């Protein structure tokens, strides 16, 4: 597994907080001790702690497309990336690594938010699209890979674990009593609720887009239970 984290400014751009993202990545180092990376801009900061599995030599993250307009931090595996890559190459996309991460980047370039429909795997990722100043966060169909998020003082935070979000000391740390009751009842909370007020978990098969000062949520897949004949 790997660790992903970062934040996105909803409104006014501001200088990136290098110290904060350093702490956020460091606290996730147990998820990926092999490499650590960050991408910094006045609108968005991405962080990654990597457990090297695929493309050991050139799969460093955060990773971008050819012109640096789309950046990703990604946790998980896309099992059908080998099939998707030649399809994207025929559409004109050029690759510089052999990683499944880069396939996600080009799939997003080609199909936008609908790219998640094409992936067979377990994943949580965040994509910064500098072309329209947006952040796209998605989670796999069954929620195997975790991603949590919070909105605080005009800044959207996300991370593989809640403690990375709490690296910003200004974010309140208050127990959600309903979430605590769910833990005592079911051993866990039911997403999007967590054990902390103001911290949410992205539900399985869902995505979030942060754009133009607004946060939109969508569901691209859900389990169906047809009636028995």
Please give the positions annotated as active site.
2
Crossing angle (nearest 10°) for helices 81-90 and 100-111: 50
DSSP reduced 3-state for 156? strand
Distances (CA, A) of 182 to 150, 164, 176, 189, 212: 20, 23, 10, 5, 35
**Shortest CA distance to 143 belongs to which of 60, 207, 227?**
207
The rounded distance, in Å, linking the Cα atoms of 99 and 78 is 10
What's the rounded Cα separation, in Å, for the pair 176 and 182? 10
Burial of 68 from C-beta contacts in 10 A (0-12 / 13-18 / 19+): exposed
Please tell me the distance from the alpha carbon of residue 177 to that of residue 183, in angstroms, as a whole number. 10
**CB distance 228 to 214 below 8 Å:** no
């Amino acid at each position: 597994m790997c660790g992903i984290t970062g934040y996105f400014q909803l409104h006014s751009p501001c200088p990136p907080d290098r110290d904060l993202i350093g702490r956020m990545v460091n606290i996730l180092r147990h998820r990926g001790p092999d490499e650590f990376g960050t991408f910094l801009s006045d609108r968005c900061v991405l962080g990654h702690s990597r457990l090297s599995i695929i493309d050991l030599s050139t799969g460093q993250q955060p990773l971008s497309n050819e012109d640096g307009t789309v950046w990703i931090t990604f946790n998980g595996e896309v099992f059908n990336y080998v099939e998707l890559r030649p399809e994207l190459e025929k559409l004109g996309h050029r690759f510089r690594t052999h990683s499944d991460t880069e396939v996600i980047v080009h799939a997003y370039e080609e199909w936008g938010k609908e790219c998640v429909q094409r992936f067979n795997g377990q994943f949580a990722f965040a994509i910064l699209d500098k072309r329209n100043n947006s952040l796209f966060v998605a989670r796999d169909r069954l929620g195997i890979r975790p991603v949590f998020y919070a909105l605080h003082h005009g800044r959207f935070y996300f991370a593989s674990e809640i403690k990375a979000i709490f690296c910003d000391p200004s974010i309140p740390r208050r127990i959600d009593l309903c979430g605590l009751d769910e833990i005592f009842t079911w051993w866990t909370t039911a997403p999007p609720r967590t054990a902390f007020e103001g911290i949410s978990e992205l539900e399985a098969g869902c995505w979030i887009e942060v754009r133009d000062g607004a946060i939109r949520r969508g569901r691209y897949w859900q389990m169906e239970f047809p009636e028995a004949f």
